[in-house]
Amino acid sequence: MKKIVLLSILILLSIPCCMVKAADAPENLAIRAGRIWTVTDGIITDGVIIIKNGKIQAVRKKPDVPAEIEVLDFSDKDVMPGLIDAHCHIGLSLDIYSEIDETVLAVTPDMQIIDAFNPLADDVKKVLRSGVTTVLLAPGNKNPIGGQTAVVKLFGKKTKDRVLKRAAGVKFSLRDEALMPDRRPTSRAGLLALIREELNNVKAYKEDKPDLRMEVLKSVVDANFPVYISTYTVDEITSAVALVDEYNLNAVLIGAEQGDEIADLIAGRNIPVIYSPLLLFSRDKDLKRVVNMADGGIKVAFSSSAPETSLSDLRTSAITAVKYGLDKEVALKSLTINAAQILGVSKRVGSIQRGKDADLVILNGDPLQPTSTVEMVIINGDIVYQRQKI
């Protein structure tokens, strides 16, 4: 009996010791690279990135590294910031289509998608090889006013390392999927009427009678809390723009497949677009749309809309857009810093700059060539994927 007690005490004592030790361990690492695609500061050839405690401490051309720092030598490789998938539904459930939408109610702005996120889910671990390090998690398209989106990393030891934004904005859906035969709205016009009704109710809302849904919508109308509006066709996009004008919304468009037809309308209001994945069976005309939108002055980010496509297809979307005429620099920004700015997390991710999180992707060539592949992925200074030679 005594022995057991002693053992338990020992175990109890040792746990905090181990934890302290892990947190205190010096996390210094240097990466020597043939080319560093900083995104915000051009390409540095034969440079080095010094990482300290998960942050980028220095990016420089001279490859002198203090002796005590471990060096990963990628002198013949390319390093870029972690890719950002600006719209997906991973880690949310086993049967994804049944659990990302709240189908009984039409209006659920108080629902937070982060509550359904499992960072250890198989589909999250599996996509680390894609080079994507940060994603926007979003509810589906079945609610006119859906739940709140979140910005998370695919890896992180602690919640604060992993979750960049618990609540990044409210998702609206103007798509057909938001119409249901057995509840309001059942028509396109009814859908817009319902959204207006809800936003108008904010004016009459009294805080002495707290209502979570109204609180959220109030912050949308009064405090610039972002709305992510999912649209596809020209008329849906036009409706979204009308809402933005009427309620002075801080909006981001998701999808907006036909946005190039009214690019001036979108660009004129500085509404950014999180574009749908470029599908490798689309007609040339559709593959050129995202190019036309970027050329029309719209800030664009790419997305996988996983599980519609895989996160591994994110870079393929950008490569395909380049093939169809998108400027390479714009394509690179769309995968990184533009997405970070659209999601409001550019202070931490999106480029290789001093002070930002050490989220890096190492490739065996130009990131926008299909002949290049991801060799290693680093999130917060931790190596989370390394390509195995089979």
Partner 1 sequence: MENPVVMGHKNIILISSMLLLFTFTSAFGDQGIAIRAGHILTISDNPIENGIILIKGGKIEALGQNVVLPEDVRLIDANDKFVIPGLIDAQSRLFVMDSELDESRTIAPELNILDAIDPFIKEYREVLAQGVTAVCVAPGSHGLIGGRSAVLKLNGSKNIDRMVLKADATVKAAVGMSTGNTSSSLARLEHYSSIREALIATKVYMQTKEKADREMAEYNRKKAEYEKKDSGKETEKKEKPKRPARFRSSPASDVLAQVLRKEIPLQVEAHRVTDILNVLRLADEFGFTLILDKCTEGYLIADEIARRKASVIVGPVSTSFVDMPRLEYRNHDMSNASILSKNGIKTALGVSGRDGASSKFITLAAAMAAANGMDKDAALRAITLTPAEMFGVADRIGSLQVGKDADLVILNGHPLDTQTRVEMVLIEGKVVFERKSQQ
Binding site for partner 1 (CB under 8 A): 279-284, 307-310, 312-313, 316, 319-320, 322-323, 328, 364-365, 368-373, 390
**Which residue number, 64 or 284, has a Cβ lying nearer to partner 1?**
284
Q: Is the dihedral of CA 118, 383, 166, 238 positive or negative?
A: negative
Q: Which is nearer to partner 1, 233 or 316 (CB)?
A: 316
- What is the nearest approach in angstroms of partner 1 to the Cβ of residue 266? 24
- Alpha-carbon distance of 358 to 29, in angstroms, equals 10
Query: Quick one: 34 or 190, whose CB is closer to partner 1?
Result: 34
Q: How far is the CB of 87 from partner 1 (least distance, A)?
A: 17
Question: By C-beta, is 236 or 375 nearer to partner 1?
Answer: 375
Choice between 52 and 328, CB closer to partner 1: 328
In angstroms, give the least distance from the CB of 284 to partner 1.
Answer: 5
CB 128 within 8 A of CB 155: yes
Q: What angle do CA 326, 135, 89 make, to 5 degrees?
A: 105
Closest CA to 56 of 292, 386, 381: 381
CB 34 within 8 A of CB 76: yes
Smallest gap from residue 181 Cβ to partner 1 (A): 25
Closest contact distance (angstroms) between CB of 43 and partner 1 is 16
**Least distance CB 373 / partner 1 (angstroms):** 4
Cβ nearer to partner 1, comparing 119 with 365: 365
Virtual torsion, Cα 155, 157, 158, 160, nearest 10 deg: -50
Q: Give 308 or 382: the residue with its C-beta nearer to partner 1.
A: 308
| Nearer to partner 1 (CB atom), residue 27 or residue 366 | 366
Name the minimum Å distance from CB 218 to partner 1: 39
The alpha carbon of residue 230 and the mean position of all alpha carbons in its chain are separated, in whole angstroms, by: 15
Instruction: Determine the Cα–Cα distance for residues 239 and 189; give it in Å rounded to an integer.
Output: 10
Instruction: Compute the least distance from the CB of residue 389 to partner 1, in Å.
Output: 8
CA–CA distance, 277 with 270 (Å, rounded to integer): 22
Smallest gap from Cβ 372 to partner 1, in A, equals 6
In whole angstroms, what separates CA 151 from the centre of its chain? Answer: 6
What is the rounded distance in angstroms from the CA atom of residue 150 to the CA atom of residue 237? 23
CA distance 357 to 82: 10
For 63, how many CA atoms within 13 A lie in the half-sphere containing its CB?
17
* Helices marked H in 208-297: 212-222, 234-247, 263-267, 284-287, 289-295
Closest CA to 254 of 230, 289, 290: 230
Q: Which residue number, 90 or 340, has a Cβ lying nearer to partner 1?
A: 90
Decide the pairing of beta strands 300-302 and 83-88.
unpaired
